[in-house]
Amino acid sequence: MTDFNRIEDADNLAGKTALVRVDFNVPVDKDGTVTDDTRLRAALGTVNALSGKGAKVALLAHFGRPKGERKPELSLRPVAEAFAGVLGAPVAFAEDCVGEVAENAIASIQGGGVVLLENTRFHPGEEKNDDALADEMAKLGDVYVNDAFSAAHRAHVSTEGLARRLPAYAGRAMERELDALEKALGKPERPVLAVVGGAKVSTKIDLLKNLVTRVDALAIGGGMANTFLAARGQPVGKSLCEHDLADTCREIEAKAKESGCDIILPQDVIVAKEFAANAPHRTCGIGEVADDEMILDAGPQTVGLVVIAMDAAKTLVWNGPLGAFETEPFDKATVDAARAAAERAKSGKLIAVAGGGDTVAALNHAGVAQDFSFVSTAGGAFLEWMEGKALPGVDALKG
């Protein structure tokens, strides 16, 4: 993964146009105001680096799901205004991302200037990675930079097609992501511990099958742990559980044993008769769950086992909560384990990389996201990377 091209490899950009794929799929309220500029700020490193080289920076992004139709409510115009505020410099806007309109908008800015082109998904060929659209879009630029890891698992014109037609480089945010992932699973310091939680095994079968062949220990939490416990013959009451996946769980455990991966499942759990904030609850052993109870969190003994595994590990990869963290007090296992990981990462004892799904929200809830070595906000791309799948947008950047 380390053999991709970087911005530093690009020479003589003064006056040339860099087509830069960014993730500007930001939340916007009904008045068109961007309510969270995290993704806009993430693009600053790349935009400033290219502007500093004298390049014209033409930003490409999708916004929402227009499904190949031009929908005014999904225009990126308000985002251009918001990004200008973040950048502290003017950001021009083009009403299209191809053709004469886009050409004129790029021609109107000087070297070092920035223009945001209209929503790439207004064109039906974008998501189809249509050759004709890719050829037309490529005419706008001299080089291509991908800074949107979150869209790298999609082979679209703006994520993969352009990289096959122009000299292609990873942007600064993409670079940080790929370097962090290389440290986590590519060429990690061992032992490696993975913590995987979430509601259902069915959504993470590929992930679990890949991880047990690549990590030294795997801690499973959340609702998916209930399915593994049931597959071992343990009672889970009326807990969320996919009983039909018992054979799959046993297959994953057998694969883990064959690969030398230690699977850590709950030894004690927090149970309640109803799923509600501050519902009456108790801690019990895994064999003591009553028929009318549901498992809503891992217990303190289980958290202790996970922390022991952290102390033995050099690298941690985290995806998903250990319990129903959105509802107190069933957030305790996730919060306690996350704080333990953050403390070890902050002190340099552990490389801790996290991402996907509810993971970012869980770490923010615990107040420790900033202390992890790296937290990916990429969602689907992060999960597909953990599953060992090829990411078209990344593969296209390799030298």
pLDDT value at 215 more than 70: yes
pLDDT at 1 over 60: no
**Is 357 a known active-site residue?**
yes
pLDDT tops 70 at residue 2: no
Check whether residue 134 and residue 214 sit in a common domain: no
pLDDT bracket for residue 399 (50, 70, 90):
low
The catalytic position among 161, 299, 320, 357 is 357
Is the pLDDT confidence value at 341 over 90? yes
User: What is the SS3 assignment for 179?
Assistant: helix
Question: Could you tell me if 118 and 92 are in contact, meaning their C-beta atoms sit under 8 angstroms apart?
Answer: no
Q: Residues 237, 155: one domain?
A: no
Among 55, 15, 42, residue whose Cα is nearest residue 149: 42
Q: Judge if 165 and 200 occupy the same domain.
A: no
β-bridge mates for residue 115, sequence order = 58, 92
pTM of the predicted protein model = 0.89
131 and 271, same structural domain? no
**Dihedral angle at the C-alpha atoms of 242, 289, 331, 375, nearest 10 degrees?**
-40
**Catalytic site residue 237?**
no
CA atoms within 13 A on the CB side of 321: 25
The catalytic position among 16, 70, 71, 200 is 200
> What CATH number is given to the structural domain containing 378?
3.40.50.1260
* Same structural domain, 24 and 125: yes
C-alpha–C-alpha distance, residues 330 and 296, integer Å: 6
Let me know if 200 is a catalytic residue.
yes
260 in any annotated domain: yes
Residues 34, 141 within the same domain? yes
Strand order of the β-sheet with 17-21 is: 92-94, 114-117, 56-60, 17-21, 143-146, 168-170
**Residue 41 and residue 74 in one domain:** yes
How far, in Å, are 192, 203, 208 from residue 252 at the CA level? 18, 14, 7
Identified catalytic residue from 45, 186, 380, 388: 380
Which pLDDT tens digit goes with each residue over 77-104? 999 999 999 999 999 999 999 999 999 9
351-386 tens-digit pLDDT:
999 997 689 889 999 999 999 999 998 888 988 988
Dist. CA 395–CA 321, nearest whole Å: 30
Biggest alpha carbon–alpha carbon distance for the chain: 71
pLDDT of residue 379: 81
Average per-residue pLDDT in the chain? 95
Residues 197 and 320 both lie in one domain:
yes
pLDDT of 287-336, one tens digit each?
999 999 999 999 999 999 999 999 999 999 999 999 999 999 999 999 99
Q: According to the model, what pLDDT value does residue 222 have?
A: 95
Give the model confidence (pLDDT) of 45-71 as tens digits: 999 999 999 999 999 999 999 999 999
**Same domain, yes or no, for 270 and 366?**
yes
**Number of structural domains, the chain?**
2
Clarify whether residues 162 and 256 are in a common domain: no
- Per the domain annotation, does 2 fall within a domain? no
Of these residues, 39, 165, 332, 344, which one is catalytic? Answer: 39
Amino acid 3: pLDDT = 79
The verdict on whether 204 is a catalytic residue reads: no
Domain shared by 22 and 121, yes or no = yes
- Residue 385 or 145, more confident: 145
Same-domain check for residues 380 and 272: yes
On whether residue 394 sits in a domain, the answer given is: no
Q: How far, rounded to the nearest angstrom, does the alpha carbon of residue 228 sit from its chain's CA centroid?
A: 25
Residue-range definition of the domain harbouring residue 152: 7-174
